[in-house]
Amino acid sequence: MKMTILVAVASRQRVVIVGGGVLGTMHAFAAQRRGFEVVQLEREAEARGASVRNFGLVWVSGRRAGPELELALQARQLWEELGAAVPGLGFRAAGSLTIAADEVELGLLKEAAARPDADRRGFELLDPGAVRTINPALRGDFAGGLYGRLDGIVEPRQVLPALRGYLAAGPAAYQWLPGREVTEVTAGAVRDHTGAWHHGDLVVLCTGAAHTGVAGRYLARGQAAPVRRVRLQMMQTAPLPEKITTALADGDSLRYYPAYELPGRAQLAPQPAAAARARAQLLLVQRADGGLTVGDTHEYAEPFAFDVDEDAYDHLRARAETLLGGPVPRIQRRWAGVYSEVNPALASAALYHRSEVEPGVVLVTGPGGRGMTCSPAIAMETFH
Ligand SMILES: Cc1cc2nc3c(=O)[nH]c(=O)nc-3n(C[C@H](O)[C@H](O)[C@H](O)COP(=O)(O)OP(=O)(O)OC[C@H]3O[C@@H](n4cnc5c(N)ncnc54)[C@H](O)[C@@H]3O)c2cc1C
């Protein structure tokens, strides 16, 4: 009898998380903060999904007005607090500069700077001289820039181990179980490939873009699919000795971020063919070691390419060199990444997907290209 009570008490305090990416790890953080013991399973020896392949941009500036901006602002605040507690995240409130190559792009930046919520995004329109005062490394020719004061940067290759280290020393027990692929889900429990069961009062599936894995049976296919996958190409240079003080974006980013759905967007000239084919935009972030993470492209139709396309890289490198006014260091790494995003064709498309798939089992995925940014706030919403 006594044993039963002990098990019941322990059981009430336990959360099982499947997936070692940023969503899973932020859920582990949110659960521990609420006093739960946490067990987190990851199929790989270390997370290898979107969370370690991204820019590490905590990107507030381009968000759609309303719930998306609110979620990003809340998350930005949480990242800053976490960054102070966990220096290994590499959080820095670096801000961003979106650079206009010509007067047409500058016109759209002016419209963005005049948005009623421009202050909440930290927007400030700058002439080329003022851009260079903030970021002296920008020696190229351009018409002006939009400063996004609130945008931040973290180090994606460090975030997950740093957070796990913090959790291991946290107020409630935290167990990290890498190399465990969950193959079965039932009410309040999952089984991994070794046959071991893991029980919790809450199970959170944060399985990322693995839409055919254990989460697959809960995700409808075809037109009604709640999520889809997107593939991106990225690269990283050898260290640049000079400091790039802010994150950088080029005018092509104005085509993709909803904050720029303004009249001036229709005036933008067509992209060069290689960029249009790859749906490229330049985003550039300097890593803590000086290397430059440069991307990205967008591929929506599956099956995705299994190889990377050099035309897209040539375009992105040339764009980066135009902004910097000189060559970027040798490209040292190239990779592609895939994220899960809510299906934009659905009228009901939310900011991310959350559903209770079995009693006591919640699936959280599909935050798309804002997943690194919004992950702490999404996790808090699960444990609200
Ligand atoms: C190239 C690229 C650049 C991006 N840049 C940014 C950016 O700068 N800022 C931003 O806000 N967002 C960015 N994003 C989006 C962001 O990275 C993702 O939205 C976010 O990382 C998703 O996190 P996740 O934990 O859901 O997925 P993942 O990181 O993919 O993690 C899911 C994990 O679950 C594990 N898993 C799956 N199935 C199982 C199973 N059955 N058992 C055990 N484990 C399992 C996987 O191995 C994986 O480690 C970018 C994405 C990409 C691809």
* HEC readout, 46-109: CCCCHHHHCCCEECCCCCCCCHHHHHHHHHHHHHHHHHHHCHHHCCECCCEEEEECCHHHHHHH
Closest approach atom of ligand 1 to CA 19: 34
Mutation probe of ligand 1 site: the residue of 79, 339, 353 with most atoms within 8 A of C-beta: 339
CA of 24 to the centre of ligand 1 (A): 9
Q: Give me the percent of the chain exceeding a pLDDT of 90.
A: 94
pLDDT of residue 347: 72
CA distance 77 to 74: 5
CA distance 381 to 243: 36
pLDDT of residue 223: 80
Question: Mind listing the pLDDT tens digit for each residue in 146-180?
Answer: 999 999 999 999 999 999 999 999 999 999 999 99
Whether the Cβ atoms of residue 92 and residue 147 lie closer than 8 Å to each other: no
Q: Name the pLDDT band for 132 (thresholds 50, 70, 90).
A: very high
Phi, psi of 63 (to 5 degrees): -70, 150
Phi-psi region of 122 (alpha: psi -120 to 50; beta: other; left: phi over 0): left
Could you tell me where the beta strands, DSSP code E, fall in 218-311?
227-237, 247-249, 283-286, 292-295
Whether the Cβ atoms of residue 189 and residue 214 lie closer than 8 Å to each other: no
Asked whether the predicted pLDDT for residue 6 surpasses 60, the reply is no
pLDDT of residue 9: 38
Q: Name the pLDDT band for 346 (thresholds 50, 70, 90).
A: confident
pLDDT of residue 121: 96
Whether the Cβ atoms of residue 206 and residue 213 lie closer than 8 Å to each other: no
Say which DSSP state 226 is in. S
Name the least confident of 13-22, 92-101, 198-207, 342-351: 342-351
Q: State the average pLDDT over residues 341-347.
A: 89
CA of 320 to the centre of ligand 1 (A): 26
Mean pLDDT score across all residues of the chain: 95
Q: Name the pLDDT band for 8 (thresholds 50, 70, 90).
A: very low
Q: Name the pLDDT band for 220 (thresholds 50, 70, 90).
A: confident
CA of 367 to the centre of ligand 1 (A): 9
Sign of CA dihedral 306, 333, 247, 47: positive
Q: Which tokens belong to 362? A: 């919640």
Closest approach atom of ligand 1 to CA 368: 19
CA of 50 to the centre of ligand 1 (A): 3
Closest approach atom of ligand 1 to CA 341: 19
pLDDT of residue 348: 73
CA of 64 to the centre of ligand 1 (A): 22
3-state secondary structure at position 151: coil
Q: Name the pLDDT band for 2 (thresholds 50, 70, 90).
A: very low
Which runs of consecutive H residues, i.e. helices, occur in the chain? 2-12, 22-33, 50-53, 67-85, 103-113, 118-121, 128-134, 156-168, 273-278, 310-324, 371-382
